[in-house]
Structure formats: C-alpha cells, structure tokens
Chains A and B, each alone.
Chain A
Amino acid sequence: MRFDYAPAPESRSVVTLRDSYGLFIGGQFVSGSSVFKTVSPATEEVLAEVTQAGPEDVDRAVAAARHAYERTWSVMPGRERGKYLFRVARLIQERARELAVLETLDNGKPIRESRDVDIPLAAAHFFYHAGWADKLSYAGFGPAPRPLGVAGQVIPWNFPLLMLAWKIAPALACGNTVVLKPAETTPLTALVFAEICQQADLPPGVVNVVTGDGATGHCLVAHPGIDKVAFTGSTEVGKEIARICAVSGQRLTLELGGKAANIVFDDAPVDQAVEGIVNGIFFNQGHVCCAGSRLLVQESIADELLESLKRRMGQLRLGDPLDKNTDIGAVNSRAQLERIEAFAESGEEEGAQRWSVQCPLPDRGFWFPPTVFTGVSQAHRIAQEEIFGPVLSVLTFRTPDEAIAKANNTPYGLSAGVWTEKGSLILSMASKLRAGVVWANTFNRFDPSSPFGGYKESGFGREGGRHGLEAYLDVLGGSDV
C-alpha cells in the first residue's frame, strides 16, 4: 500500500502584507528616499517594497536611539524595562502564527521550522532576558553594571526574527537602545516586530529598524553615534567591521561563519546519529552558521552509516515551504544558490563523490537538493570553506585523536557534535574541541539560557545566558574606554 501526505498548506490569510514599508525610527514608520523589493525565494513573487535607508536615515535613527537612551531607557528601573520585555514576548506569542507564515514567505524556510523553532525561540529570548532586567546586580559584573549606550546591530537572513531577538532582547534588558538593520532579503518580520514595539507601547526610539543592503549596514556600524556594534553574518564582512571598530573604538561582538564537525563514533546510537546528521546539515537548508557541515565518521562504521543516511535523506520532503509537511524549503536567494552550486561543482572537480536526493525541484524559485559528498579530504574546498547550504562533506577518522585533529583543523570554531554512548569519551572530546558549542548526542539545539558564540574566525562574544549580558554591559568600568 502506497501512502503519502496530501498537500497541507498553512494559510497565508493570517498575514496582511502592506505594499510598502517605511523605516521604523523614533517609534514611527517614516519614509525614506528609495525602495527595494523583497521576494519570496520559493516562488520569486514580490512580497513588498521596503525602504533603503541612506546615511541621513541612519543619522535620524541613531539620534532617536540616543535620545531614548538618555531620556528614558537607561534611567528607567530594571523592573520597568522587564515589564516591557515581557509584554513584547507575549505579543510575539500572540502573533506567532502570523510571524511564522511571514518568516516562511520571506525566507523560504519550511513552516514547520518557523512555527516550531524560530518564533517560539524568539519569544523565549525575550522572556529570558525580561527576567534579567531587574537582576543585573546579580549577574557577576559588579553591584550596578551600566549599559553601554546605543547599539548598532546587523543581522543575517537565515533566522531573521530569531537573530533579531538574540540581539535586541539582551541589549534592551541591559538598558541599551538599538538601531537594527535586518538582512536585505528578509526584512519583513523585523518590520512586524516594529509594529509589536508600538503595540507594547515601548518608548519611542528604544528600538529602531533601518532596512537596506550592505551600504546601510556599513553606514550603521561606522556611525560615530554608536557605542556598540553587534554583527552576525559572514566572516568576510565581520573582518571588515572589525577593522572599522578597531579605529573607532566601539565595543564589538561578532558571530560569524562555521564549518562544524559532527563526529560519529562506532558505538553511537545510530538511528539518532542519522537524525542528528540530517538535522545538523539540512535544518534550514543548511543556512546555519553552526551547521554540522563536516561529518567525521569512524571508518569502521562509515559504510553502514552512509547507507542509513542516504535512506533517511531519501525521505526528506522538499517543496512548498508553507506546506506543513515540508522538510526542506527554498534557498534564500539566487546569489546564495549560485554560491552553493559553485561549491558543489568544486567538490566534483576536486574528486569527491557527489550524491544528491533524487527529488523533483519546483520550476520557480531557488532550490538545491540535499547533497552529500563522500571521499572528501581536508584538502578539498568543500571540507574547508563554509558553503551555507544543504551540502554535507563526509570524512573518516580512525582514532579519537585523529577526530580531534581533523575537527580543529579549520579557521572556524563555532560548534561541534559528538555521537557516542560512552560518557567519558564525550567529556574528553568536549574538552579538546575548539568550538564555542559542543553538542553531545544531539545537534542544533538552542536555548536562551545557553551562551552561544565562536572561537577563532567564528567570532567573539557570547549571546544568551549570563555570559551574553556581558556584551551589553559596561563591564570595564567606563563606557568611553
């Protein structure tokens, strides 16, 4: 008996898209000089026009944030700030369905992920940091830690609302005000978030959202009125920002790329390891900075593990991101698709064996089938560089020492995974892996109370947990050092 799921599309009717969106400055939506279009990567349909913020717009936004910082937010008692954050968190929950559908439309990720991961976690970050707002004296940074001032925050397109939450929630809890620039291809949930700020009666200027491309981002991070820069995105852009901030003396935290090793030992719980590998690299089409893009498998079980992995990959359901049973959605943009395709070609040219899931790809939009490369060695580009797509490189190892050596043999150090039933091996691997997060017998699990961040070229600073507060507090004792 053949059984398959009938189409189960989530309704778009919960989302009311405006034709065009302004910038959110000083608590109001204001128009700017030029506009650009944001499209649905699954269909290439234009969703809305969004304003491109120019230098004067950024000036206005920074001034509004400065005003709100000095007059209102930094002098407000922590318990009052906490109330606003709790209110924002509840509003995210109330509008969760709308936000999930909008995120899926604008980003291309499956509704199952935006519904079950992105939006609930975004709300959780606000709830978590709301709780910190009146307890900062107990965070271990002195009896009365001060905020830094105005934070300029630039976020990527892979988890638009979630990255917004990671940035805005701790900044606000600590008493800073923010100017946030969402990614060019995924600005819409940040603009709905701006509406939520209005709904929550957040004092004008505490949160400002300026949309635009890299030029807007450059303008923001180089702005002399900014006290703190926080960036999540590519290592290349991160380095450029680090150069700017090195001159200006602004505080900086960077969360950049990764090339995580997912290490599977021969005594691993195989079925869960296969799930973890799939979740590690195909979650969000592999557009995850901490994706487990290098599978390091012990040579003695490599063949059977790969067979199980391919069988499991064959079940992945690629297609309409709004369908509730879709596992793999669309690649976020044409540029990213071309980048992934170029990497896949280089893998083949360099002699690795490519295997892709044989599934039909939709005619319109940007799509790439789940792909695994075997016979990969450290010398290959697909083992070294961040692909940021649904492409897994498989390498083998013989001993734990070799696994450590290969796992650490990368300029990155954001995350790693270890799969074994042996607890002592987990602990010894975790102590030797140079990665900000090490997952044991799981992968891609996130929690607001758990600090997240990288080693080496994956960046510095932590987001989440008590450690994450440090990035938004004047722990050095004087905000103008």
Chain B
Amino acid sequence: MNKIRAGALFIVIVMALVIGILCASIMTISLYHQMHVSDNRLYTKLDDNVNSAVNMLLSDRVALYRDTSYVIDLFKLEEDSVFITRKRWGILESASVSAFSRGKKISVDFLYGYELSSKDSTVLYVPDLGRPLSFSGTTVIIGNCKLPASGVKRGNIEGEYFSGTQLVQGKVSTSTKNLPAIQEKTLTRLLSLLKGDSTSMYRRIGKLVYTLDTDTLINKFSDTTLVLLSQGTGLGGKYLEGNIIIYAVDKIEIPQNLTLKDVLIIAPYIRIKNNVQGVFQAFASDSMIVEENVVCNYPSVLGLMKTDFHVQQPYIKTGSNFKFSGIIFSYQNVSDLSQTLLSMGEKSEISGEIYANGFLELKQGTVVKGQVTCSKFYLKTKKAIYENNLLDITIDKTALSPYFVGSSLLISNTPKKIIKWLER
C-alpha cells in the first residue's frame, strides 16, 4: 500500500518553516547591522569627545591639578565621559586624554605650551645695567629691541667694523634694570630633582630601571614614567622614546648612536657627543657640553640651573654648527657675582628662544631665529674678552616660524596650543 502524502497543510507547514528561518535571518542581519553601525557611530562620537576634551584642557575650563587623573562628564548627561591627566614634562606640559563609552576607548597624548604673543615683537632684551651694546662685523638685528638707556653703537672687534646700514631694523626702547620674570614654579620639580641624590624622589614619580635589556624602549605618556638610572655611559646603540627620564647622580654622556625622542635627561654634568640628532630636554646644574654638529629638533630644551655655590660658574657650551629648535635657558636662584654662561658655538643656528639669567656668548656666524633675553653678552676671542659685544651675529624674530609654541617658563597668558601629538 503506497501512500503519497499530498496536502496543502504539509506544504504550508514546510513553507512556514522556511519563512520562519528567513525571519530569523533578517533579525540576525539586523542585529549585526545595528551592532556594526552603532559601533561606527560610537567611534565618531568618541572622536568628537576627545577633541572636545582637548579643547577643554587648552581653554582651562576646568581647574586640573597636575599628576592627578580626572573623569569628567563633558555635557553633564552621564554619557560623554572623558579621562584627563596632565603633568609637567621638563618645562613643557604633557596630557593624556581618553574618551570612553560601552567598552570602547579612544586616547590621545600630547605636549602643549603657549603660543608666542603676536603683540610682542621684541627680538632682543638686555636689562639696563649701565653698559651700552656694541655691534660689529655683519651683525643684523631684525625686530624691536629693549636695550639699556646708553643704547647701542657701532663697534670694532679686532679690525671688524660694523658694516651694516642700520644697527637695529626695528624700534629701540629702554629696558628696565631687571630681566623679564621667569615663571619659577615651572622649575620647582626640576630644581628638586637636580639637588644631590634624588633617587628616592624619582621612585615617587616613576618606575626605576637599572639596566636596559633591549635596544629599543618606547614608553607612552599614559603609562608610568620610566626613570633610567644611567651609570654615565653605556647608552650606545639604543633607541629611547617617550615618557622616559635618563638620570644620573653625577654625569651622563649621550653618544652619537643613541637616538632620543621626547625624553628628559637630568644630571649635574651632561656631555652630548658629536653628531647626535634627536628631540630631548636636557637639564644640568654644573655644566653641559654639546660637541660639534649636534642637531636638536623641535621641541628641544637645554636648561642650566644654578642653585648653590658649589659650582662657581655653571655653563652650557655648544660646538660649531649646532642646530637647535626650542628653548635654551639659564637660571639661578642664588645671588652671585659669578653668573651662569650660555655659549653658542660658531655658525650655530638657533630657532626659538634664548633666556640667559647670566652671560650669553654668541660666537661668530651664529644665527638666532627668534628671541634673545640675557643679562649681558660675552664674547671671548683669541686676544680679548668683550662684554655686551656682538660680532657677525644675526638675531631675527621674523624668521621664527609663526607656529612656534613656547613654554610656560617664559609666557603664561597667551592661548595654549598643541606642540606635538605623541605616538599612540
């Protein structure tokens, strides 16, 4: 007996099953589609929130203490949270900003500072200590100057008479007896780190590293600072980038084959060997020697801080063909006749700012694209020593890039700008 099952009911039930499977498929596609699209929309929203948080930080809308992390609800609707940490990095500022929601996160790290005032076109400031300035050779000063009341005159150094038509290509006004104030709070931590053996202090700010096992060390600014205790030498052939401090109790030597990017170097005595190229901030309290052909890209800093009388005359001396973009400064918080000395080698090219609370020597052929502030000029030739004399020097503020952003050390009331986005 053969049964052939016919019947509409059977076909309908089979089709109902098929349609049911199609419904389930549509619902599954819809689910994945919604997940996918809402993920992408969330990502765009987090990107907007990160930008908003960066703008909030740059505008000082919320008072944020350094070295403290904050979780902020951007629009007070409990759905746009950002995480912000800021800290001082040398004399610059660093910040880490993250926007997060539903398990997704976007983070950015950056260095920021203060833009140069467009109203202040002062290229040279020398306080009025009763001594005039003298320009010799092919010295060119472009920009407004604030100089001693005794003014500036044409000079002659060892037969090199001033050969230009104008001593200053800009307005000259009289300066006060003091240098423009430096923002000392910018240096507070650096000063304490340079005093004696600060290993215990470094333990509080970061993780100490005694030996470097790898050739490459990259540390993000959102992670804990790594403090590399240098034995003076032994850094050859390495690549160091990011949130790293190289510290030594006595001296540090930077060899040519050490590549540095955005790190800090802190020691009483620092020597930077020939042909080193990198981006770093170096701070010394005794002396710093930069040999020939060294290139320090923006944003680099060389800082000299005299805090006691142990070293009679702390100095920074650079070799010839020194190329630097950033800030060079000297500071002393002790009253002493023996002042700090910043000496730029022959044919050096400095883009940025030089602030010397002491002597500044610009050797023949040096070009400064930016601003110079110093207590006194100093020039030592083979035959004599000259005070407040410039020979074959160019100081031109108009040649400084309009995008240059400085530190709170020298400026603090102009808008904040991003100096550099750091590697994420």
Instruction: State yes or no: do A and B come from one complex.
Output: no
Show the binding face of A for B, using Cβ within 8 Å: none
